[in-house]
Amino acid sequence: MEKKYDFIVIGGGPAGRRGAIQAAKAGKSVLVVEKGRCVGGVCVHTGTIPSKTLRETVLNLSGWRERGFYGRSYKVKSNITAEDLQQRLQMTIQHEVEILENQFERNNVEMVSGFAKFLSKNEISITMADGEVHNVKFGKILLSVGTKPFRPDYIPFDGKRILDSDEILDITELPKTLIVIGAGVIGLEYATIFSALDIPVTVIEPRETVLDFLDGEIVDDFLADLRNRGITLCLGAKATEVKSNADRCFVKLEDGRVTRADMVLFAAGRMGSTERLGLEKCGLAVDHRGRISVDSATYETATPNIYAAGDVIGFPSLASTSMEQGRVAACHAFDIPMATQPEFFPYGIYAVPEISTIGLTEQQVREQKIPYQCGVARLRETSRGQIMGIDTGLLKMIFSLETRELLGVHILGEGATELIHIGQAVLNLGGKLDYFINNIFNYPTLAEAYKVAALDAWNKMENIALESECDTVKPVAAPKKYKKTG
């Protein structure tokens, strides 16, 4: 490793691998430095892939999707164990690693396992597993080191009963009861996954509200669903002390209450994995959560030849957006032409039920004083929903009254993260209400909810147009009639 590389990537997660492959396709010499034994980063080994695999395994083995027909006591497997969950998890991770390693090999991307540290803004040292150190120079570098769970000093983590969101994946025995501290995306995903196993769950969150970046109506329905399932929500309640003995864990709240459970999951935030990088050597600093600031259009840091992408730069911390950030960073680094990024991207929360959203929320539309109307469809209203036994969930669309353009789509329920892409295409192409009314959707499908919601919005718009005495709202034309062609 004496030669100089055009592009070094520290961290082989979604941002790193996409950036590395983009640079390699442009003919650049690329080296990926991964601290783990395998490529994939947090996404593959402790984050996105494992948690979603765990979710799917739980929903399959518990018979969750069939309970709408057979009742809440229905199960596919009567005695689900931690070993059952681990088996599918390891198979999935191994498959992902093989795919990524093959991608690197096909694109001539070199990879080494070790810890990287800056010596200057153009040179790093790499400490291998055997202690051997190599110094490597580079032209451009991408920091995609990801994050790790936030572990405050007052939480006595023991890896058995009091765990962080990485350790929860390695449990050898399922708890009979669970306390989740933190009602962010990760906390709520795990809370609902374990609840689907009929494990009583208590969620503790110091804020009075949760998931504030989502549409309020979606959040309200989501929380109502959780309460109906028996999940205890302690909102506006700060955990001040956590203890455990041989049998139980105890969490004391600021208001004096004490909750008990077999296991505690602390999932209140994550920290950028930047403490060992020696960023001071290249003129960079981090915030209180170890995150790096970048230019939002190019992902270049304050040091011109150094880029950062993925979770280490903060919100939205999605695998999908991290991939694009890594690609954009590589394109900018080497003046590779690229298309303009769409204004809106989808956000997915893999809780039970799923949530997915794109565009403006109803709160944001009001703040911007845009005249609007909403259309809502309950998934149980669709024939496919009835076939599947779905009794919860909704699809909500927001349209401009003046232009009838789609402003936002918000979905709660089965298949939300798949359904959202129809709304994504229409939204980013500037589509209008007419698209959903005048097009034919497969029947029976959950996607038909788009048409139901659009007709709901159209009916409301028509009523407004008829009742209004001013000229600011134009009458909405009736939907076109279909002509039979066959």
> The CATH number of the domain where 445 resides is what?
3.30.390.30
Q: Is the pTM of this model over 0.85?
A: yes
Same domain, 69 and 113: yes
Pick the closest to residue 330 from 303, 305, 293 (CA basis): 305
Of 225, 248, 268, the position where a domain reaches its end is: 268
Cα–Cα distance, 88 to 78 (Å, whole number): 18
Same domain, 318 and 357: no
Total structural domains in the chain?
3
Average confidence score pLDDT of the chain: 89
Confidence of residue 462 (pLDDT cuts 50, 70, 90): confident
Residue 485 has pLDDT above 50, yes or no: no
Structure-token pair, residue 352? 């039970």
Structure-token pair, residue 230? 């028996």
CB atoms within 10 A of CB 486: 2
475 found inside a domain: no
3-class SS shares of the chain: helix, strand, coil, % to 5: 35, 25, 40
473 found inside a domain: no
Q: How big is the chain, counted in residues?
A: 486
Same domain, 144 and 254: no
476 found inside a domain: no
Q: Is the peptide bond before 316 cis (omega within 30 degrees of 0)?
A: yes
Of 268, 295, 313, the position where a domain reaches its end is: 268
Same domain, 134 and 283: yes
Whether residue 254 contacts residue 240, with contact meaning beta carbons closer than 8 Å, is answered with: yes
Whether residue 92 contacts residue 105, with contact meaning beta carbons closer than 8 Å, is answered with: no
Letter string b/e over residues 62-81, b meaning 16 or more CB atoms within 10 A of that residue's CB: bbbbebbeeeeeebeeeebe
Whether residue 412 contacts residue 352, with contact meaning beta carbons closer than 8 Å, is answered with: no
Same domain, 21 and 168: no
Query: Domain residues for 18?
Result: 5-149+271-333
Tell me the per-residue pLDDT of 159-173, one tens digit each, with 9 for 90 and over.
Answer: 999 999 999 988 889
Whether residue 226 contacts residue 233, with contact meaning beta carbons closer than 8 Å, is answered with: yes
First to last CA, the chain: 67
Same domain, 276 and 262: no
Instruction: Tell me the DSSP string of 349-418.
Output: E-SSS-EEEEE--HHHHHHTT--EEEEEEEGGGSHHHHHHT--S-EEEEEEETTT-BEEEEEEESTTHHH
Cα–Cα distance, 319 to 286 (Å, whole number): 21
Of 230, 253, 268, the position where a domain reaches its end is: 268
Cα–Cα distance, 439 to 229 (Å, whole number): 37
CATH number at residue 132: 3.50.50.60
Same domain, 169 and 185: yes
Cα–Cα distance, 249 to 243 (Å, whole number): 6
Tell me the per-residue pLDDT of 131-142, one tens digit each, with 9 for 90 and over.
Answer: 889 999 999 999
Same domain, 303 and 424: no
| Of the listed ranges 35-39, 107-111, 300-304, 423-427, the one predicted with least confidence | 35-39
Same domain, 139 and 277: yes
Q: What pLDDT is stored for residue 350 in this prediction?
A: 93
Residue 64 or 194, more confident: 194
Structure-token pair, residue 134? 């190599």
156 found inside a domain: no
